[in-house]
Amino acid sequence: MNQKILIGGMVGIILIVGGIFIFHHHKDAVMAQDSDAANVPVNQLLQQATKYEEEGQKLKAKQVYDQIINNYPDYSKIEDIQAKLGELNVDLIFSRAQMPQTIDYEVVPGDSLGKLARKYKTTTQLIKRANGLKSDVIRTGEKLRIWTAPFTVLVSKSQNVLFVKSKEEVVKIYHVSTGRDNITPAGTFHIASKIENPVWFKNGGAPIPSESPENELGTRWMGFDTDTHYGIHGTLHPESIGKQVTAGCVRLKNSDVEELFDMIPLGTEVIIQN
């Protein structure tokens, strides 16, 4: 009798364990099928976006990438899509493409790039790049494409990322370095100065010229209004990007800070959050 009970119990345990294994195996299979099914429309959209880009239809490609990010935020490679969209957005900003944020402007007597940049709260570099200008000279009757929408910069210290936004749209996400021991000040600032190839005045010592290998500011400087000791700049140490290692400033790769420098004008709002 005891032997029969023991055998019956063992059979029951085997059936239970087998059932659990089958359940989990089935569950994993269903989840994998769901994931594969979810990837199907994304893959189709990616093919469509690639086709648009190959045809030079960047605005249509942008719309497709926007659709993926808005409708499939859990897609396993969503960060790659965000990076691709960021590159495409910047290409469009620096192009002649007509967008809701742009106007066509005909140059009149007395105009200059600086005057137009101030009037439309943009940068001379952005006007030049968008219109393929090789110099600062513009001529009466010339038609220019001008970006008119304001930019906002948002820095997350905990993630070491910098978001460039135009109104509510995230234009591009940059990886940055921030202050060691979380010393980068949090708050709202505005870009008060912009300098190409800045000289570094280290702790009140002798100025270090821009071409010196000891100049920690890299190729661009954008200083804050409320504390001129802090700002956004380039770096000699690209390997440090993504870490909290600076003396308090926000640091980008030189290629990234040059791109940002050309895009955002004086007065741009910078929000730094923990």
Tell me which residues are annotated as active site. 233, 249
b vs e for 8-45, b when ≥16 Cβ sit within 10 Å of the residue's Cβ?
Answer: eeeeeeeeeeeeeeeeeeeeeeeeeeeeeeeeeebeeb
Collapsing DSSP states into helix, strand and coil, what is residue 139?
coil
Pull the structure tokens for residue 31: 């989840």
CB-facing half-sphere around the CA of 34: CA atoms within 13 A: 7
Sign of the CA dihedral 85, 132, 128, 96? negative
Bridge partners of residue 144, in order along the sequence: 105
SS (H, E, C) 186-230: CEEEEEEEEEECCCEEHHHCCEECCCCCCCCCCCEEEEECCCCCC
Bridge partners of residue 172, in order along the sequence: 164
Give the integer Cα–Cα distance in Å for 213 and 201.
14
Q: CB-based burial of residue 116 (10 Å sphere; 0-12 exposed, 13-18 middle, 19+ buried)?
A: middle
Collapsing DSSP states into helix, strand and coil, what is residue 127?
helix
